[in-house]
């Protein structure tokens, strides 16, 4: 029943988007003479920089991410940039120019295209489809990489498939009907609140864990990513991921026991910690089991990625914070830490021959980072309001004023509209509002109509429901 609620075309579309990005950077491994690694670094830097304006012009970017022309333009950037990569190997001036062009095009697409998908899932309130897209991506990845290494198949066919994927993904994205019922606030949560702290911890955890995962991917695979994804170990991992995804869907769908739900989500979080910690600590002892240890790393990263997606999704839903703002922040953190992890591995490769026991030192440092992140980020105190999407409870007094203030900012209501909203929130009827504000009935009705229009609701009850849904956390972090 829960799977029936998921938007399958959206799930497949986002899975193709994720698959495109993986193939975009790893497909050159099919060309032995290709050494255009700079594209990866340029792309990550451009991705982070291109999303910075979205943190300031959030409302404008929300509209751009729903524009069909913009979506297909991003698909064109992704497709063209991917197709250029195999031509950009070498050190000539033309090769360098092609690497820059490919890096810029894929960087913009990997930032904007992904945030557009995140926003679509949040506005559709489809958390299950959002989570399942990671699993579908794993399935597509195994099938395509297994086919890619068939001797009869030219690597250019894989490149062409990877270049076409963004267009299919864009088509499925624009087919999704636009949802105007989700109302969000395009600014960061107030300072010294639980929401601001939770968002900061979210970005920190993404930065640290993805940085560690990127370092270990380079350490364990060392340029053989596609061979790993097409191997038998990845098939076994996929089967385990299917079982875990089913469990996660059951957890998400269970709305009956909130505390039990939080405990189970925390359990998944702790399993991810154990897997990541195991992969880090065994780095100095895994000379003959690199592929197996990366399998452990990969599965831990799979669980962590899903947890982060759930937390960010529920954060947007619970606090009515703009998905464009939240996911731009997380995407920037993700891109920067991949760039740092990539750079750190190359620095390690350079100094490892001349510094004794460098690998042991790196293992200890990364282990401390893992322990610190999993111990202090999203502990039980903070996981209760963000591991699961819960309905905010109606509160009296000052919290009611806070909710009204928030809707005034979201809808950009005028002073008089704000006055009418506050009286509606207190349960005043239209004649009573007329009397208290000394307005005509037509003026009251006009202000009420404008409030409905700006907040995208259609009745007084929907407005009251929206007031409850946008209840912010108190400064102490409790809701």
pLDDT beneath 70: ranges in the chain: 1-4, 32-37, 178-181, 252-265, 377-399, 469-479
pTM: 0.80
Same domain membership, residue 408 and residue 383: no
- Domain end marker among 387, 408, 434: 387
Which structural domain, as residue segments, surrounds residue 119?
A: 2-387
- Domain end marker among 387, 407, 441: 387
Q: Write down the pLDDT at residue 254.
A: 63
Retrieve residue 416's tokens: 């008089």
**Tens-place pLDDT, residues 97-138:** 988 999 999 999 999 999 999 999 988 888 888 888 988 998
Same domain membership, residue 330 and residue 206: yes
Q: Does 476 fall in a domain?
A: no
Same domain membership, residue 425 and residue 349: no
**342 contacts: CB under 8 Å, gap ≥ 6:** 40, 41, 44, 214, 218
Q: Does 313 fall in a domain?
A: yes
**311 contacts: CB under 8 Å, gap ≥ 6:** 202, 378, 386, 387
Q: Which residues of 380-408 are buried (b: 16+ CB within 10 A; e: fewer)?
A: eebbbbbbbbbebeeeeeebbebbbebbb
Same domain membership, residue 425 and residue 363: no
* Structural domains counted in the chain: 2
Same domain membership, residue 436 and residue 350: no
Same domain membership, residue 404 and residue 353: no
Neighbours of 177 (CB within 10 A): 8
Alpha helices, H only, 352-429: 358-376, 380-387, 398-411, 415-425
Same domain membership, residue 317 and residue 450: no
Same domain membership, residue 122 and residue 191: yes
Per DSSP, what are the bridge partners of residue 185? Answer: 321
Retrieve residue 459's tokens: 């009745």
**Tens-place pLDDT, residues 417-450:** 888 988 888 888 888 888 888 888 888 889 998 9
Phi, psi of 185 (to 5 degrees): -105, 120
Same domain membership, residue 291 and residue 421: no
Residue with tokens 């939770």: 198
Q: Does 38 fall in a domain?
A: yes
Q: Does 32 fall in a domain?
A: yes
Task: Answer whether 139's CB lies under 8 Å from 145's CB.
Answer: no
Q: Write down the pLDDT at residue 434.
A: 87
Alpha-carbon gap, residue 176 to 125, rounded angstroms: 13
Q: Write down the pLDDT at residue 34.
A: 61
CATH of the domain at 318: 1.20.1250.20
In angstroms, how far is CA 106 from the centroid of its own chain?
Answer: 17
Same domain membership, residue 416 and residue 379: no
Q: Does 158 fall in a domain?
A: yes
Q: Write down the pLDDT at residue 325.
A: 92
Same domain membership, residue 235 and residue 212: yes
Retrieve residue 259's tokens: 């505390």
Q: Does 204 fall in a domain?
A: yes
Q: Does 406 fall in a domain?
A: yes
- Domain end marker among 387, 422, 449: 387
Same domain membership, residue 293 and residue 153: yes
Q: Does 119 fall in a domain?
A: yes
**169 contacts: CB under 8 Å, gap ≥ 6:** 13, 14, 16, 17, 20, 75, 113, 117
CATH of the domain at 447: 1.10.10.10
Q: Write down the pLDDT at residue 24.
A: 86
Alpha-carbon gap, residue 70 to 52, rounded angstroms: 18
């Amino acid at each position: 029943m829960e799977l029936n609620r998921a938007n399958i075309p959206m799930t497949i579309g986002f899975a193709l988007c994720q698959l495109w990005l993986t193939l975009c950077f790893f497909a050159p491994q099919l060309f032995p003479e290709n050494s255009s690694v700079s594209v990866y670094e340029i792309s990550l830097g451009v991705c982070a920089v291109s999303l910075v304006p979205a943190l300031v012009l959030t409302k404008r970017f929300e509209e751009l991410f729903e524009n069909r022309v913009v979506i297909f333009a991003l698909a064109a950037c992704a497709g063209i940039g991917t197709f250029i990569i195999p031509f950009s190997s070498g050190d000539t001036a033309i090769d360098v120019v092609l690497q820059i062009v490919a890096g810029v095009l894929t960087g913009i697409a990997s930032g904007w295209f992904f945030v557009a998908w995140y926003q679509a899932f949040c506005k559709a309130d489809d958390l299950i489809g959002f989570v399942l897209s990671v699993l579908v991506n794993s399935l597509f990845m195994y099938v395509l990489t297994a086919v890619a290494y068939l001797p009869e198949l030219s690597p250019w066919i894989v490149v062409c498939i990877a270049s076409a994927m963004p267009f299919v993904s864009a088509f499925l994205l624009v087919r999704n009907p636009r949802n105007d019922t989700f109302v969000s606030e395009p600014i960061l949560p107030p300072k010294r609140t639980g929401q601001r702290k939770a968002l900061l911890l979210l970005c920190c955890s993404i930065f640290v864990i993805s940085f560690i995962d990127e370092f270990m991917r380079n350490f364990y695979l060392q340029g053989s990513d596609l061979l790993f994804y097409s191997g038998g170990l990845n098939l076994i991992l996929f089967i385990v991921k299917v079982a875990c995804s089913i469990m996660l869907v059951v957890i998400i769908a269970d709305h009956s026991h909130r505390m039990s739900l939080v405990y189970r989500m925390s359990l998944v979080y702790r399993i991810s910690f154990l897997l990541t910690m195991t992969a880090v600590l065994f780095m100095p002892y895994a000379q003959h089991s690199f592929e197996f240890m990366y399998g452990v790393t990969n599965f831990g990263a799979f669980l962590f990625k899903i947890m982060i997606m759930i937390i960010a999704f529920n954060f947007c839903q619970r606090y009515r914070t703009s998905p464009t703002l939240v996911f731009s922040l997380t995407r920037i953190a993700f891109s920067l830490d991949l760039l740092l992890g990539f750079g750190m591995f190359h620095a390690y490769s350079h100094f490892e021959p001349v510094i004794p026991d460098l690998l042991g030192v790196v293992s200890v440092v990364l282990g401390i980072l893992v322990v610190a992140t999993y111990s202090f980020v999203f502990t039980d105190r903070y996981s209760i309001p963000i591991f699961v999407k819960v309905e905010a409870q109606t509160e009296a007094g000052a919290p009611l004023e806070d909710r009204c203030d928030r809707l005034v900012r979201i809808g950009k209501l005028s002073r008089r509209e704000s006055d009418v909203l506050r009286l509606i929130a207190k349960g005043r009827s239209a004649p009573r509002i007329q009397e208290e504000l000394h307005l005509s009935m037509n003026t009251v009705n006009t202000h009420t109509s404008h409030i409905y229009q700006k907040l995208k609701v259609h009745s007084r009850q929907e407005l009251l429901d929206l007031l409850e849904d946008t209840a912010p956390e108190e400064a102490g972090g409790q809701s």
